Structure 1
Amino acid sequence: MTSNFSAKIIIDAKDKSKAIFDSVNTDNEFYPENPVKTKITFDKKITISVETDQLAHLRANLNSTLRLIQASYDSIESVKI
């Protein structure tokens, strides 16, 4: 028996959401061998949907993605004019 694990996270970074999405989604598109099915979409907010049969893979993928989002947000904030 195989269990499937999934998570959906919605992030609203206001006016920074689109720039963050563009940054993070690029990494996701260029990692086709990812063992976690990861879909990142944008419609005024960033939606991250992940699915896998390994709970550890789900946790690792979410941690990495959320850290990338935080780094993108912090970078945008640091160059605020």
Structure 2
Amino acid sequence: MTLNYSAKITVDAKDKNNAIFDSVNTDNEFYPENPVKTKIKLDKKLVISAETDQIAHLRANLNSTLRLIQASYDTIESVKI
């Protein structure tokens, strides 16, 4: 299989990076049949890399991943004391 499409996105949520990474990466690890080869790293910032042979799959995967990141961030913000 040739991977024709790829994307790399960096997200910096400051002090929330670790919590967001734990939340989003767990979801990513338990979906082995994902048609998009997705890697999420924590390197001071969140780095999402995705590769696939279908652009629609790439778009859908990135939308889902970014929405999960936003939901995690919003949840953390909502319980601030």
- TM-score in terms of structure 2 length: 0.96
Change in 2 beyond 3 A, CA 1:3/1:24 = closer
Partner in structure 2 of residue 5 of structure 1: 5
Q: Please report the RMSD computed on the Cα atoms of aligned residues, expressed in angstroms.
A: 1.0
Partner in structure 1 of residue 17 of structure 2: 17
Q: Quick one: percent identity of the two aligned structures?
A: 84
| Superposition misfits of 4+ residues, deviation over 4 angstroms | none
Counterpart residue type for residue 4 of structure 1:
N
Partner in structure 2 of residue 35 of structure 1: 35
- TM-score in terms of structure 1 length: 0.96
What number of residue pairs does the alignment pair up?
Answer: 80
Distance between the aligned counterparts of 1:19 and 1:54, measured in 2?
31
Distance between the aligned counterparts of 2:44 and 2:19, measured in 1?
11
Compute the displacement of 1:35 (Å). 0.3
Partner in structure 2 of residue 73 of structure 1: 73
User: Unpaired segments of 5 or more residues in structure 1?
Assistant: none
Distance between the aligned counterparts of 2:40 and 2:75, measured in 1?
20
Distance between the aligned counterparts of 2:52 and 2:73, measured in 1?
27
Counterpart residue type for residue 46 of structure 1:
L
Compute the displacement of 1:43 (Å). 1.1
